[in-house]
Structure 1
Amino acid sequence: MAKLNVKVGDLNLRNPVMPASGCFAIEYSEALDFNKLGALVIKSVSPKSRAGNPTPRVAETASGMLNSIGIPSKGLDYYRREVLPPYTRYDTPVVVSISADTVDEFARAVAEMSLPEVAVIEANISCPNLEADGMAFAMDPDTTYKAVSAIRRNTGHIFWAKLTPNASNVAVVAKAAEEAGADGIVMGNTLLGMSIDVRTRKPKLGNVMGGLSGPAIKPVALRMVHQCYRSVHIPIVGCGGICTAEDAVEFMLAGASAVQVGTASFIDPGVMQKIIDGLHAYCDETGVADINELIGAVKLDRQLTDRWLRFAQQSG
């Protein structure tokens, strides 16, 4: 059987498969053995209590879904007391996702959540920055650098910067996160979208616009992972429309060291175990002894790729 162990920077994982934040809950233990996952990524927490966005919060689309949850939170104290402990009982690294409205809030929240039982902090800088008129931190390399620098100064923990696919040039943003001290990047989050009910002529989401996820965004997410891989030297966790083992393999070939599974778990709570089993089968069928052989191993025409990347940078 092939070796599925991977390293994401200094973090050792038994396999490259983990949930995406917000798409996973402790109740999934009824469908999955948490001790067989690569990591456990918990839903995002913000330092401020908030109720989330108005309903309806979810709308189905072709090959995906739109959501506008708004990251409801009861604050850090409640999170440490009630949310975190059940996950730390497993022999699997715990990743805490943090969302905040300002650079200072991010810094304080990360410092408070740098706990011994937390293996990694995922800084969700794809969320709105109130100091920049609601534009996500990761939309711009300068705001990315400021946020990541503040986080780095306030924690010695491993931390990943979660980027947004809505940026015009994700490779430049990823480079800014690396230079500011991120240990890895998660590429990425949902694409901004909208849906309208043609009978009522009203938006299907209470917040009008929301994030598109699922298989519909996979080609875009895959392209962005590859762009980031060619731009940075820190590890990348790929995310976006992963439903099968072959999807996971594609992301690793594009440059991801590990993957996160989101929308697919809503359809099948046991899908991550199926992906892990599928990775074993793929490696056996193709003669891959160590899954790390796949990372960034896509076969490219170097001249054409360099020309395309120059074009992407100029147009971005």
Structure 2
Amino acid sequence: MKPVDLTTQLGGITLRNPVITSSGTYGFGEEYLAYCPLEALGGITLKGITPLPRLGNPVPRLAETPAGLLNAVGLENPGLEEFLKSYLPKLNKVPTAVIANISGFSLDDYACMARALKKGSGITALEVNISCPNVKHGGMHFGTDPRSAQEVIAAVRAETDLPIIAKLSPNVTDIVEMARAVQRGGADVLSLINTLLGMTIDLNSQRPVLANTFGGLSGPAVRPVAVRMVWQVAEAVDLPIIGMGGITSWQDAVEFLLAGATAVSIGTGNFYNPQAPLDVVEGIRNYCEQRGYSSVQELVGLAHRG
């Protein structure tokens, strides 16, 4: 029997398999080298970068909830200049696709980031984060207004020749409308979903647990919402989708593929099982073998076809 072909085509990007890591959960890749060889993954998505360094939100920033995690880190990062100087040279040697996640607070911010990261920089694609719920300006505004979302993606498109991945927020009334807006702006790939906005209150202090009050909910609790949104967008928009939201096992990943995702991304699952991406790759391969599929791409959207 021929081995299953896990090769995945994603908006002009060729991945060795459909498993990627999510921004904000995998640092700049080197943090996980002791647990997961990067060459075994389809790609990694770097910690989000902004034009200027950010200290992030005050602590506490994290709170566990049943079947999930609330985070309000607030885009803490070293800034574009330090990233280009200290991190990018190392990333040129990473043996897998490297996706840079860029965030900003104005159209000029996004354009500036895109200008600095073009083909030949060592970056494979740009994931444009217009959906961070943990900052007070930008972020959610861009990700919940279709016109603003389209403008951000168009601003990035005008400044880069790299494939653009638009990361969408679930905190909207109509996810399909948002997907169509970023497609008009020039996105090549859609990434969904980012975290759901949530909060938790400490019964002893009778105050919100997070210093930011609200945070982004991730983990298994959000997976049914994410699968639903991937399904809806796959039916309406002709762009490849990176499905994410609560994937902790190969079964979760296959569910996203069947719903219409071309690739999957693992985030919170990395925190309690640093080898989760490896387990998911192997599980997808075994599932395909057992079902008689020669390529993982045969699974994509299969549930829509009955």
| Length-normalised TM-score, structure 1 | 0.91
1:289, distance to aligned residue in structure 2 (A): 1.2
Aligned to 2:95: 91
Whichever residue aligns with residue 113 of structure 1, its letter is L
1:119 aligns with 2:124: yes
In the TM superposition, what is the alpha-carbon distance from 1:232 to its structure 2 partner?
1.0
Q: Distance in 2 between matches of 1:134 and 1:13?
A: 28
In 2, Cα distance between the equivalents of 1:147 and 1:155? 13
State yes or no: 1:148 paired with 2:153: yes
| Residue 178 (str. 1) matches residue 180 (str. 2) | no
Report the AA paired with residue 208 of structure 1.
T
Could you say what secondary structure the match of 2:112 adopts? helix
In 1: Cα distance, 2:154 partner to 2:134 partner: 15
- The aligned runs of 1:41-190 (5 Å cut-off) are 41-116=45-120, 117-127=122-132, 135-190=140-195
Please report how far the alpha carbon of residue 140 of structure 1 lies from its aligned counterpart in structure 2 after TM superposition. 1.6
For 1:68 and 1:290, locate their aligned partners in 2 and report how far apart those are by CA, in whole Å: 39
Contact 2:130 2:140 in 1 (8 A): no
Please identify, of 105-114 and 174-183, the stretch whose mean Cα deviation from structure 2 is larger: 105-114
Distance 1:115 1:78, change over 3 A: farther
Q: Partner residue of 2:247?
A: 242
- The aligned runs of 1:263-274 (5 Å cut-off) are 263-274=268-279
Per the alignment, residue 22 of structure 1 pairs with 24
Question: Residue by residue, what CA displacement relative to the aligned partner does 1:187-234 show, whole Å, maximum 9, x if unpaired?
Answer: 120000000111111111110000000000000001011111112111
Long gaps (5+) in structure 1: 302-316
Letter in 2 for 1:27: E
Equivalent in 7, 10, 17 of residue 8 of structure 1: 10
Equivalenced residue count is 301
CA distance in 1, matches of 2:65, 2:87: 31
Contact 1:129/1:136 (<8 A) preserved? no
CA RMSD of aligned residues (A): 1.7
Where do 4+ consecutive residues of structure 1 move more than 4 Å? 128-134
Structure 2 counterpart of 1:79, one-letter code: F
The Cα shift of 1:90 comes to 2.2
Overall identity of the aligned pairs, in %? 39
Rounded to whole Å, the distance in 2 between the matches of 1:150 and 1:260 is: 25
| More off after superposition, 130-139 vs 252-261 | 130-139
Query: What are the ranges of 5 or more consecutive residues in structure 2 without an aligned counterpart?
Result: none
CA distance in structure 1 between the aligned counterparts of 2:64 and 2:43, rounded to whole angstroms: 28
In structure 1, give the amino acid aligned to 2:224.
P
Q: Distance in 2 between matches of 1:53 and 1:131?
A: 10
Q: Is the 8 A contact 1:128 1:137 kept in 2?
A: no
Which amino acid is 2:151 matched to? K
Q: Contact 2:131–2:139 (CA<8 Å) still a contact in 1?
A: no
Counterpart of 1:304 in structure 2 is: none
* Aligned match for 1:36, one of 25, 37, 40: 40
Query: What are the within-5 Å matches in structure 2 for residues 189-208 of structure 1?
Result: 189-208=194-213
Distance 2:24 2:115 in 1: 21
Q: What is the DSSP-based 3-state SS (H/G/I as helix, E as strand, rest coil) of the residue aligned with 1:283?
A: helix
